[in-house]
A and B are shown apart, each in its own frame.
Chain A
Amino acid sequence: MSNPIIEVENLSKRYRLGSIGVGSFLDDLRALGRKLKLPCKKTDPDKEFLALDNVSFSVSEGEAFGIIGHNGAGKSTLLKILSRITEPTGGQAIIRGKVSSLLEVGTGFNEEMTGRENIYLNGSIYGLNRNEIDEQFESIVEFAHVGKFIDTPVKRYSSGMFVRLAFAVAAHLKPDVLIVDEVLAVGDLGFQKKCMQKMQNVTTGGMTILFVSHNLQMIRQLCPKCMLLEKGKVISIGKTSDILSQYVTSKKKYLSCLEQEMQSERRRGTGLARFSKISYQNTEGQEKTKFFLQEPICFSFEIVAKEEIASLMVIIEIKTENEQEKIICASHEITSRPLKPKDRVQFSITFDKPNLSPGSYPIYFWAGTSDHFHFDILDNLLPPLEIGVPPKDSGTFRGLVQTSSSLAIHSLP
């Protein structure tokens, strides 16, 4: 076999924590001093953070390679380095071919310019020359479905048209390596499907894809091989189905991830109150992530108020695997009385008969007031709920929901 098209060796990226100001200036001065061989104190290692720690892997030509990992695992940092947006602090990566990266859809679009002008501008930002864009122009317009609006400034486009046009340009780039980060989470379902199809087509055409997504369904569909990252380290690389099950079911990982997410201050919401503990339990109070069909599921919570809040409501949404639809949405008002800072509230919400078919279900937790002012949102940050088949029971399960039904025949010839 020839050389792999992407070869990453011991790639590391170190960030300095904390804000930039007088303190970091002193650190910089000390670093400069050490370079000049002056006796200067070393930077406190607690203030540093390894976003990527000796990451090595290789991808061969024409492969679609998925990267998964919990938030903060280093996926985005890795893609940023491979897209040449930032530099590593150690190690190296070799990419043998032309790279295009889609870290965002619509980068560099100019509102004042028409669709046509934007196709040219955006295409050339991604490194196409004019002839290449000329050749692709018709099929970009067709793919984006903007038709007669092509000579209208894009500021008058609907947001759907805008996204379609932006993705259409991106999808018609002809790089050797395409790096994609979550960008498919935009647009309506039909368009997403079209995009997935396009991506599948390009890999059969010999293009190599590096794909990061939280949407495990998409990873499964697109990438035969993937890599699991955690805290900047490679945990495993292999066949997607093996890696996914490792990612999803390992309870140890679930716990460490849960702890990490619970401490993370970067998550969404206003932060007036935060979930401080969430666990999935069975009726005996045992923590687990995998439940059998029809087994009652109990979510146990602790919420801490950081500021004074007027009331507290919690919503749990159980979603389909591609996160498009809600299957179950349960909302409960916890209290209508105000809470003081540092007040802790503990409660649990139980689904006696979840009726869900076997599978894995992303969950969304929301805390806020009853008038929908949100404090904290855990949007698929926690591991999905796993529903399994009890050992003795082996039927085929169709549909998302299993309810018992009875048959009554009224006439039969």
Chain B
Amino acid sequence: MSQKTQKVIIKANRSLWDLELKDFFKYKDLLYLLVRRDFVTSYKQTILGPIWVILQALMGSAVFTVVFGNIAGLSTDGHPAFLFYLCGTLAWQYFGSVFGVGSNALQSNLNLFAKVYFPRLIPPIGQAISSLLNFLIQLIVLFIALGIYHSTNPDAVVGPRGEVLLLPLLVFQSALLGLGMGFIISAASVKYRDLGRLAGMFTQFLMYATPVIYPISEIPERYRPLLAWNPLTFIVESYRHLLLGHSTASTLEYGIPSVIITFIIFLFGLVLYNKTQRSYVDYV
């Protein structure tokens, strides 16, 4: 017989840092297939297909424009209201969908995880990647909306500049943050489902604590350091900076705590998720 390729040691109380990353890379074909499956099946048996994603973004932004812009009269930081909200939703929705994927990772894959071993990180990471499809569609909608706006207002200064190339980094950060927070919720609600219920409420609260429907420049100066603790403040404001041209909280002052907190949350979520998956099938 050939030299055995691997040796598995199964024992109690493994180290928290045993993240099974070696296995993760061995299963990269599975990751690829899962992402491809999501791409292929996401619009099966719908007539309008991706148009729903477009409609959702347009409708949401239109409602925000009317309710918060026109009726409540909130400032939009000098950006055209519709573009401002469209950009906010774009940023928020990708984070939100990744957070949703993460916070259900152990629960929605139970049937699979209870029957066969493969690295438990693959399904949520795969879904975080396939969520990019909707994100890209929305991004295109935003660019089209920008184009239309420019053709009707030729002197407008709104729009992306060269810095827009940094966008992937920002997307990556929102994915890490969404997965990290999601993993914490998913792991914590395995045994006691109460937390799963809290997650929904928490997302809503978080959206209002993040400058999605208002710019941070609307917040009195002395409260802003408080908002800097919310890593999403920097993320959402930076989307606006990169895609619309300017914003307030896209500076290092917000960026450094945001990136550090993102990494801490992601690492904590990763370790907790990994620790929980080892025997969670006993509890659910």
Contact = CB atoms under 8 A, between A and B. Distances in A.
A127 B118 contact: yes
Nearest to A84: B117
A234 interface: no
Interface string A79-112: 0111111111111111111110101100110101
Interface stretch (B29-37, B140-148, B240-248): B29-37
Contacts of A206: 1
A112 B8 contact: no
B52 interface: no
B10 A87 contact: yes
A113 B41 CA distance: 8
B113 interface: yes
A249 to B, nearest CB: 34
A62 B14 CA distance: 29
B29 A94 contact: no
Closest 10 pairs (CB-CB, A-B): A92-B11, A124-B30, A84-B117, A107-B115, A93-B10, A87-B279, A97-B4, A95-B8, A87-B278, A86-B279
Contacts of A94: 7-10
Contacts, number: 110
B267 to A, nearest CB: 22
A48 to B, nearest CB: 13
A97 B10 contact: no
Contact of A125 (B116, B278, B279): B116
B45 to A, nearest CB: 8
A20 interface: yes
Interface string A59-94: 001100000000000000000111111111111111
B278 A20 contact: no
A80 B10 CA distance: 11
Interface of A: 5, 15, 20, 24-25, 28, 61-62, 80-99, 101, 103-104, 107-108, 110, 112-113, 117, 120-121, 124-130, 176, 206
A89 B282 CA distance: 12
B30 A125 contact: yes
Contacts of B223: none
A98 B6 contact: yes
Contact of B10 (A82, A98, A112): A82
A99 B12 contact: no
Contacts of A103: 115-116
B8 A84 contact: yes
Interface of B: 1, 4-12, 14, 26-27, 29-30, 33-34, 37, 40-41, 44, 111-118, 191-192, 278-279, 281-283
Nearest to B45: A112
Contacts of A81: 10
Contacts of A101: 116-117
A176 B29 CA distance: 20
B9 A126 contact: no
Contacts of A84: 8, 10, 117
B196 to A, nearest CB: 14
Contacts of A92: 9-12
A85 B115 contact: yes
A125 B29 CA distance: 9
Contact of A88 (B4, B12, B34, B114): B12
B211 to A, nearest CB: 37
B115 A91 contact: no
A85 B281 contact: yes
Q: Tell which of B4, B27, B112 has the most Cβ of chain A within 10 Å.
A: B4
Given A85-B114, A126-B116, A91 B6 contact: no
A84 B10 CA distance: 7
A89 B12 contact: yes
A83 B1 CA distance: 22
Contact of B4 (A82, A96, A125): A96
Given A85-B281, A124-B30, A127-B26, 11 more contacts: A82-B10, A83-B116, A85-B114, A86-B278, A86-B279, A87-B278, A92-B10, A98-B6, A108-B112, A108-B115, A128-B29
A7 to B, nearest CB: 10
8 contacts: A83-B117, A86-B279, A86-B282, A92-B9, A95-B9, A107-B111, A121-B33, A124-B30
Nearest to A9: B11
A113 B192 CA distance: 34
A125 B116 CA distance: 8
A112 B192 contact: no
A20 B191 contact: yes
B37 A121 contact: yes
A176 B116 contact: no
A90 B13 CA distance: 8
Given A107-B111, A121-B33, A124-B33, A112 B44 contact: yes
B112 to A, nearest CB: 5
B29 A124 contact: yes
A240 B44 CA distance: 52
B9 A93 contact: yes
A25 B112 contact: no
Contacts of B283: 20
A99 to B, nearest CB: 6
Contact of A127 (B4, B11, B27): B27
B29 A129 contact: yes
A120 B40 CA distance: 15
B9 A98 contact: no
Nearest to B30: A124
